[in-house]
């Protein structure tokens, strides 16, 4: 079976022409798949019946299945998606009240190699990279299931996007062209693979960058994030400055507040020192428990003090809303478990 989600618009034209059909049929198919989120060929009402029948015999739109779907009290939906080989990873739909934004949080790998000590994905180890079309398929799955059009994509699901650079980059181009999502509405989040951050700046389409900093003390960061041993805070900062200079954009620094470890006033001071000459916003993420809990949630009071200290240093700070925690869809809770 041909999997149509694999094809770019040009490739779809080739495919259609090979079947002896006119080129404009590809445009119709394309619009049904990407804009109208058709889940099957029967709904494609302006495509003549015999061509639809032919398509049904030889092609599918997606080769993925929704293995499990959970809806949170706050409206967040978590999908466990099964890929053609039986591997699974999550995709999360987040809606924010009062905003027309519908964000898809996609996975770039099944599992992860980075080994961050506080993250549930790391605990399951690495399985494989996701293909470009498997990343696209996650967004199409949400659109088909809900009938809604995704407006923002964040690479914050399972995996380290810059460790699957090529496929992720191709996916970004297709999200931009095929799904018509502006490049500013596409964000990748990385644990800080410094040379790859620089490489990203050479591309024509440069996504918004979020970095999982989580700690501005190198020794403590080493304990919780093995990546610090390869690319330390200094390397990371150099790459972030490069990104800001090259793109004129700001980076978002994600910072997990872990009770009594990263949420202290001393740590806030280190963070202020680290970011004083960086064009950035800070996104504080209260630690989400992942079961085997060596770490604890921050106290509300400590979160507020931490936020205040950063704001006093002139930075824009947001505290990330905990979304979908009741269905284990919050940050760091994605482990592909069934």
CA atoms within 13 A on the CB side of 190: 25
Q: What is the closest distance, in whole angstroms, from the C-beta atom of residue 268 to ligand SAH in the complex?
A: 18
* d(C-alpha 146, C-alpha 148), whole Å: 5
Catalytic residue among 90, 134, 228, 254: 90
3-state class (DSSP) for residue 198: helix
Q: Which distant-in-sequence residues (6+ apart) come within 8 Å of 242 by Cβ?
A: 197, 198, 201
331 is catalytic: yes
- Binder of ligand SAH out of 139, 140, 191, 236 (CB under 6 A): 191
* d(C-alpha 167, C-alpha 316), whole Å: 32
Q: Any idea what DSSP says for residue 149? A: P
3-state class (DSSP) for residue 215: coil
Give yes or no for residue 189 binding ligand SAH (CB under 6 A). yes
Residue 175 phi, psi dihedral angles, 5° rounding: -65, -40
Give first-to-last CA distance, the chain, whole Å: 28
Q: What is the closest distance, in whole angstroms, from the C-beta atom of residue 192 to ligand SAH in the complex?
A: 8
Pick the closer one to ligand SAH by CB: 144 or 208: 208
Per-residue contact track with ligand SAH, 98 to 117, x per CB under 6 A? Answer: ----------------x-x-
Give yes or no for residue 153 binding ligand SAH (CB under 6 A). no
Give yes or no for residue 47 binding ligand SAH (CB under 6 A). no
- Binder of ligand SAH out of 94, 325, 331, 335 (CB under 6 A): 331
Tally of residues, the chain: 338
Q: Which residue is nearest to ligand SAH (CB)?
A: 332
**Taking CB under 6 A as the criterion, which residues in 236-255 touch ligand SAH?**
254
Binding site for ligand SAH (CB under 6 A): 114, 116, 118-119, 156, 160, 189-191, 212, 254, 256, 285, 287-288, 290, 331-332
Residues designated catalytic = 90, 331
């Amino acid at each position: 079976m041909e999997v149509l989600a694999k094809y770019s618009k040009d490739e779809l034209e080739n495919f259609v022409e090979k079947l002896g059909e006119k080129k404009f049929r590809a445009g119709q198919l394309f619009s049904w798949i990407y804009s109208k989120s058709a889940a099957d060929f029967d709904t494609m009402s302006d495509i003549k019946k015999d061509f639809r029948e032919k398509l049904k015999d030889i092609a599918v739109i997606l080769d993925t299945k929704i293995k499990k779907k959970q809806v949170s009290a706050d409206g967040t939906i978590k999908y466990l998606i099964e890929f053609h080989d039986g591997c699974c990873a999550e995709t999360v739909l987040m809606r924010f009240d009062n905003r027309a934004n519908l964000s898809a949080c996609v996975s770039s790998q099944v599992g992860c190699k980075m080994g961050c000590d506080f993250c549930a994905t790391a605990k399951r180890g690495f399985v494989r990279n996701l293909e470009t079309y498997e990343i696209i398929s996650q967004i199409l799955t949400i659109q088909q299931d809900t009938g809604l059009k995704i407006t923002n994509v964040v690479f914050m699901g399972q995996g380290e996007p810059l460790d699957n650079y090529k496929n992720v980059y191709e996916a970004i181009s297709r999200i931009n062209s095929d799904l018509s999502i502006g490049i500013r509405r596409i964000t990748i989040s990385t644990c800080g693979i410094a040379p790859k951050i620089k490489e990203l700046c050479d591309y024509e389409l440069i996504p918004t960058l979020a970095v999982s900093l989580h700690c501005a003390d190198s020794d403590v960061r080493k304990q919780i994030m093995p990546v610090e041993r390869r690319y330390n805070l200094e390397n990371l900062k150099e790459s972030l400055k490069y990104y800001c200079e090259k793109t004129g954009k700001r980076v978002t620094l994600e910072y997990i507040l872990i009770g009594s470890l990263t949420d202290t006033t001393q740590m806030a001071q280190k963070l202020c020192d680290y970011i004083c000459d960086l064009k950035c916003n800070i996104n504080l993420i209260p630690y989400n428990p992942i079961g085997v809990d060596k770490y604890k949630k921050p106290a509300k009071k400590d979160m507020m003090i931490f936020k205040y200290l950063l704001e006093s240093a002139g930075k824009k700070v947001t505290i990330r809303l905990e979304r979908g925690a009741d269905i284990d869809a919050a940050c760091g809770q994605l482990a592909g478990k069934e």
